[in-house]
Chains A and B, each alone.
Chain A
């Protein structure tokens, strides 16, 4: 089945700096790659997604890139703010949605 690896597991950045989280997947049939933000005790909230026919997508301070050949995709957050602090999960969808292990992002004021 699909295997999604996510790095790093923790990431601390200064407010205003950029944060990058990287994921790799194993199933070449995966065609949809969402990113979820999860605050403590809350539901995962979709922040951005990308489909396999697109290499890059941007929404304000958030961007995602996808390299299908290398089977990896990345989340980029620019101009980070303290409210960006949360756990971020990548996921890949082939027959089911498989999540990465999560990245605890801390934005230091």
Chain B
């Protein structure tokens, strides 16, 4: 069964550094998402992406964040200048359609900002 994959599984970085988290969505899916989960808390929506554009973004997704689909398979989340509070698990997800469709989650990237 196809799955969403993410790399790296863990990332440690210094505050102020840029990080890029990578995701490979399920191949026939058209909608892509990033979520964040701070340890012990709920999953929070960051951004949705369709047809090479952001569809929706949350208040968390400020100017420090950007997303890109650099080729036909990868979907990336960039954090330009990391802050301590960016430490979290970041999940990528994908779905066939936007509304009323199942979103399948990747295994996550655990980001630790020191």
Contact = CB atoms under 8 A, between A and B. Distances in A.
Choose among A43, A51, A89, A102 the residue with the greatest number of B CB atoms under 10 Å from its CB.
A43
Interface size class of B (residues with CB under 8 A): 20 to 34
Contact of B42 (A34, A43, A46, A89): A89
Contacts of A98: 45
A44 B45 CA distance: 13
Interface of B: 33, 41-45, 48, 56, 58, 91, 99-108
B104 A46 contact: yes
A86 B43 CA distance: 15
A44 B44 contact: no
B102 A34 contact: yes
B43 A31 contact: no
Given A43-B91, A43-B108, A44-B91, A97 B103 contact: yes
Contact of B99 (A31, A34, A101): A31
A32 B48 CA distance: 16
Interface string A30-47: 011010100000111110
B107 to A, nearest CB: 5
Contacts of A34: 102-103
Instruction: Give the interface SS of chain B, mostly helix, strand, loop or mixed.
Output: loop
Given A96-B58, A97-B33, A46 B102 contact: yes
Nearest 10 CB-CB pairings of A with B: A32-B100, A43-B105, A99-B43, A96-B45, A99-B42, A101-B42, A96-B56, A44-B105, A43-B107, A95-B56
Instruction: Give the interface SS of chain A, mostly helix, strand, loop or mixed.
Output: strand
Contacts of A97: 33, 45, 103
26 contacts: A31-B99, A31-B100, A32-B99, A32-B100, A32-B101, A34-B103, A36-B43, A36-B105, A42-B107, A43-B91, A43-B106, A43-B108, A44-B43, A44-B91, A45-B105, A46-B102, A89-B42, A93-B100, A95-B56, A96-B56, A97-B45, A97-B103, A99-B42, A99-B43, A100-B42, A101-B42
B38 to A, nearest CB: 12
